[in-house]
């Protein structure tokens, strides 16, 4: 049981961080389909800097910054050109795959993985801190009020002499930084970058944001639930109770059930994607 | 959306696509009369596995047989059939698709270019299935190599408990798991074999995070050696082996260099030899279509031995492994290819 819970916690870390990034950015009124891309770019930057400096902490810091910058680029295009945010998200995810693969080849002459990072870093205290900070930011801070205004009714901000664009840019950078931390944890636990190592976690996080109704706590619960179902999938496969295909369906079925059983009193931010 | 915004979005998507699909790189030999085109699998050149092995065979052919070569690396989701078609249309005598993913594409394009020889590695066809005269489907009897990996694992394991981590849950990977299980059981009937698959989508081959968790759960329940057939998901297995100070068995290529301290051996598919042989035959006009399965008999598979892992190959163990190998080659042991 202890092993199960620990495995669930480890598996849920990238989901928790990416999904909270999704909550922060979407609450500001910007559709964020690019969580996967933010994470992947940050993971590569983490490995690159960690290998160059032989320090995984510096790598993680660079990854967080890299994620924030990539996210800022995303919002820059969304705001400046008013590009369709769903399309833009897909483009940023694809570009992240291409950019990291290209950089991997350039830096380490491999299409598969970077060399091994020998250095160690324990990021989980940072993860706990980041999640606590987000929880405070989206509920009790002055920023929370502005975030909701930017997401639901931007003119209210303008009336206060505040810029919705600035609030959204801040929210996106914060989201990018959270995804950056998620990418950094992937590299820290693997001690290397491997091609497309985010493996769809960003998309699961996007789904969790919608399932959880854009509220942080339910969203995080969905993430933990999904991770638990993934770990349960190994256990069931090992126990050989039924066909592995059924076990592999489990995470998705659990989420669909959770969604179906939830009373839908919450809605998307009103100005989402405008 | 304004026109400017639309064009910005279109440009971004195009940019992303060009990044994912890179241009063909031509290595045309100066006076090459016979030219071979090769299209890589999703992993692309530098995957330290399947693609690199095919490339090695191609380069050996270029050097020893003086052929011209052209290679294309399509990215995820790009049009493989178009890449094959482009090479066939540009005058290549032989076009090779690396990976089962080319099965349908090769059959489709081969019909339009009857004079070009097509090769599909790991082709998803049945033994003895009829193919067009210009198509060679190369398959490997992975179950036979995996059987030896299983015998090896049983010989090395001290806990009498071994593991298997597969990538995507497809028949190809079940050939590995079935052969492995049979090998373990043949050598050690009271050993326990745990089998896990990472998932049901192609992500399952690229998820080291999940690979690590699966391996940790097997190691923590007592397994002391794990064989993986899971692409870069297997790198997570190596990471778990390091953390738990246990052993692992690599796949496709000799993976010792990825984790010298934990990789006890690798089940190597000699894709390089297969590619070279196919090109040599085509060049001497002896190309023959059909399905060809390479097993231990044809030296298509082997357990990797090198200076680092020599300590695992004691005389005694080598004798046991050789005995099983001979029995499989002679047909005395029939290795199952599915569980």
* Residue A135 pLDDT: 96
* Residue B302, C-beta contacts closer than 8 angstroms, at least 6 positions apart: B145, B267, B268, B270, B296
pLDDT at B152: 98
Looking at the structure, tell me whether residues B234 and B325 fall in a common domain: yes
Same domain, B125 and B160: no
Chain A residues inside the 8 Å CB shell of B18: 98
Contact B199 A82 (CB under 8 A): no
On chain B, the residues whose CB falls within 8 A of the CB of A113 are 48, 232, 235, 258
B201:A200 CB<8 A: yes
Q: Residue A8's pLDDT is what?
A: 96
- Chain A nearest CA to B256, separation (Å): 13
Q: What is the pLDDT of residue A219?
A: 93
Q: Is residue B10 part of a domain?
A: no
Q: For B241, what's the count of Cα atoms within 13 Å in the CB-facing half-sphere? A: 28
Residues in chain B: 339
Instruction: Give ipTM to 2 decimals.
Output: 0.91
Query: Does the residue B77 lie in any domain?
Result: yes
B247 and B146 within one domain = yes
**How many angstroms separate the CA of residue B293 from the nearest CA in chain A?**
27
Backbone dihedral region for residue B285 (phi beyond 0: left; psi -120 to 50: alpha; all else: beta):
left
Two structure tokens written together for B136: 């060679």
Q: Tell me: do B162 and B29 sit in the same domain.
A: no
Residues with Cβ within 8 Å of residue B219, at least 6 apart in sequence: B163, B226, B240, B241, B244, B246
Of A105, A191, A200, the CB nearest to B239: A191
**Residue B130 sits in the same domain as residue B277:** yes
CB neighbour list of residue B106: distance below 8 Å, 6 or more residues apart = B84, B97, B118, B119, B120, B123, B135
* Residues of chain B found within 8 Å of residue A81, distances taken between Cβ atoms: 2, 4-5, 8-9
Please give, rounded to a whole number of angstroms, the shortest distance from the CA of B229 to a CA of chain A: 15
Residues B163 and B228 in one domain: yes
Residue B127 located in a structural domain: yes
Cβ-nearest to B208 among A102, A105, A197: A197
Contact B196 A101 (CB under 8 A): no
- Is B103 part of a structural domain of the chain? yes
CA distance, residue A81 to nearest chain B CA (Å): 5
Q: What total number of domains does chain B contain?
A: 2
Taking CB atoms and an 8 Å limit, are A111 and B47 in contact across chains? yes
> What Rg do the C-alpha atoms of chain A give, in angstroms?
19
pLDDT of residue B29: 46
For residue B16, being part of any structural domain is answered with: no
Q: Name the residue among B13, B76, B207 with its Cβ closest to that of A91.
A: B13
Domain boundaries, chain A: 16-204
Chain A residues near residue B20 by CB distance under 8 angstroms: 94, 97-98, 101
> Which tokens is B312 given?
């695992």
Q: How far is it, in rounded angstroms, from Cα A13 to Cα A17?
A: 6
Residue B223: inside a domain: yes
Instruction: Count other Cβ atoms within 10 Å, centred on residue B319.
Output: 9
Longest CA–CA span in chain B (Å) reads 75
Contacts of A105 in chain B (CB under 8 A): 46
Report pLDDT for A265.
58
- 10-residue stretch averages of pLDDT, chain A, 274 residues long: 92 97 96 97 98 96 98 95 92 95 93 91 95 95 94 92 95 98 97 95 94 91 92 85 74 75 71 83
User: pLDDT 10s per residue in chain B (339 long)?
Assistant: 456 666 666 656 655 555 455 455 555 444 458 999 999 987 788 888 888 999 999 999 999 999 999 999 887 666 889 999 999 999 999 999 998 889 999 999 999 999 999 999 999 888 778 899 999 999 999 999 999 999 999 999 999 999 999 999 988 899 999 999 999 999 999 999 999 999 888 889 999 999 999 999 999 999 999 999 999 999 999 999 999 999 999 999 999 999 999 999 999 999 999 999 999 999 998 899 999 999 999 999 999 999 999 999 999 999 999 999 999 999 999 999 988
Q: What is the pLDDT of residues A63-87, one digit of tens each?
A: 999 999 999 999 999 998 888 999 9
Is residue B167 domain-shared with residue B155, that is, in the same domain? yes
Buried/exposed code over B28-60 (b: 16+ C-beta within 10 A; e: otherwise): eeeebebbbbbbbbbbbbbbbbbbbbbbbbbeb
Partners of A187 on chain B (C-beta within 8 Å) are: none
pTM of the predicted structure, to 2 decimals:
0.89
Order of strands, sheet of B161-168, starting from the edge strand that comes earlier in the sequence:
B192-199, B161-168, B225-229, B247-252, B263-269, B301-303
Give me the domain span that covers residue B160: 142-266+305-330
Same domain, B125 and B180: no
In terms of domains, do B112 and B164 share one? no
User: How many other C-beta atoms can be found within 10 angstroms of the C-beta atom of residue B268?
Assistant: 21
Are B93 and B203 part of one and the same domain? no
Cβ contact, residue pair B16, A7, below 8 Å: no
Do B35 and B176 fall within a single domain?
A: no
Whether B161 and B178 map to the same domain: the answer is yes
Please report, for the domain that includes residue B159, its CATH number: 3.40.50.2300
């Amino acid at each position: 049981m202890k092993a199960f819970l620990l495995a669930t916690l480890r598996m849920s870390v990238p989901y928790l961080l990416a999904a909270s990034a999704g909550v922060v950015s979407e609450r500001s009124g910007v559709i964020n389909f690019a969580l996967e891309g933010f994470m992947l770019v940050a993971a590569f930057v983490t490995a690159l800097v960690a290998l160059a400096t032989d320090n995984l902490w510096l790598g993680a810091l660079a990854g967080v910054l890299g994620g924030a910058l990539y996210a800022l680029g995303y919002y820059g295009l969304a705001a400046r050109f008013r590009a369709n945010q769903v399309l833009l998200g897909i483009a940023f995810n694809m570009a992240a795959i291409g950019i990291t693969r290209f950089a991997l080849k350039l830096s380490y002459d491999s299409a598969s993985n970077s060399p091994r990072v020998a250095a160690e870093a324990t990021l989980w205290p940072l993860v706990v801190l980041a999640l606590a900070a987000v929880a405070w930011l989206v509920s009790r801070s002055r920023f929370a009020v502005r975030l909701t205004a930017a997401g639901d009714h931007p003119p209210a901000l303008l009336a206060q002499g505040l810029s919705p664009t600035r609030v959204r840019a801040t929210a996106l950078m914060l989201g990018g930084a959270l995804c950056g931390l998620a990418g950094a944890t992937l590299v820290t636990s693997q001690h290397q970058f491997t091609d497309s190592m985010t493996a769809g976690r960003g998309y699961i996080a996007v789904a969790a944001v919608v399932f959880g109704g854009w509220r942080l706590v339910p969203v995080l619960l969905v993430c933990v639930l999904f991770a638990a179902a993934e770990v349960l999938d190994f256990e069931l496969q090992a126990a050989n109770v039924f066909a592995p295909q059924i076990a592999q369906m489990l995470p998705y079925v659990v989420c669909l059930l959770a969604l179906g059983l939830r009373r839908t009193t919450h809605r998307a931010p009103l100005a989402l994607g405008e | 959306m304004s026109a400017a915004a639309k064009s910005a979005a279109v440009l971004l998507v195009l940019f992303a696509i060009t990044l994912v699909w890179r241009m063909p790189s031509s290595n045309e030999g100066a006076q090459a009369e016979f030219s071979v085109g090769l299209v890589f699998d999703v992993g692309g050149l530098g995957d330290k596995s399947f693609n690199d092995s095919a490339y090695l065979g191609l380069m050996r052919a270029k050097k020893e047989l003086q052929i011209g070569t052209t290679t294309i690396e399509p990215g995820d989701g790009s049009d493989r059939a178009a890449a094959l078609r482009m090479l066939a249309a540009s005058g290549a005598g032989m076009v090779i698709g690396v990976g089962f993913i080319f099965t349908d594409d090769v059959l489709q394009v081969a019909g339009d270019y009857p004079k070009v020889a097509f090769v599909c590695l790991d082709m998803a066809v049945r033994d003895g299935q009829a193919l067009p005269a210009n198509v060679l489907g190369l398959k490997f009897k992975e179950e036979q190599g995996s059987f030896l990996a299983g015998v090896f694992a049983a010989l090395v394991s001290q806990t009498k408990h071994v593991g298997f981590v597969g990538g995507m849950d497809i028949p190809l990977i079940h050939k590995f798991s079935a052969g492995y299980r049979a090998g373990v059981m043949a050598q050690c009937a009271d050993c326990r074999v745990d089998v896990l698959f990472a998932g049901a989508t192609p992500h399952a081959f690229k998820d080291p995070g999940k690979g690590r968790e699966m391996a940790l759960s097997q190691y923590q329940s007592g397994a002391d050696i794990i064989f993986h057939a899971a692409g870069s998901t297997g790198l997570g297995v190596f990471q778990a082996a390091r953390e738990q100070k246990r052993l692992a068995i690599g796949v496709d290529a000799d993976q010792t260099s990825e984790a010298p301290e934990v990789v006890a051996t690798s089940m190597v598919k000699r894709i390089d030899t297969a590619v070279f042989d196919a090109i040599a035959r085509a060049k001497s006009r002896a190309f023959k279509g059909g399905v060809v399965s390479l097993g231990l008999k044809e030296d298509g598979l082997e357990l990797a031995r090198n200076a680092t892992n020599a300590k695992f190959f004691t005389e005694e163990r080598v004798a046991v492994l050789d005995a099983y190998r001979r029995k499989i080659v002679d047909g005395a042991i029939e290795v199952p290819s599915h569980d």
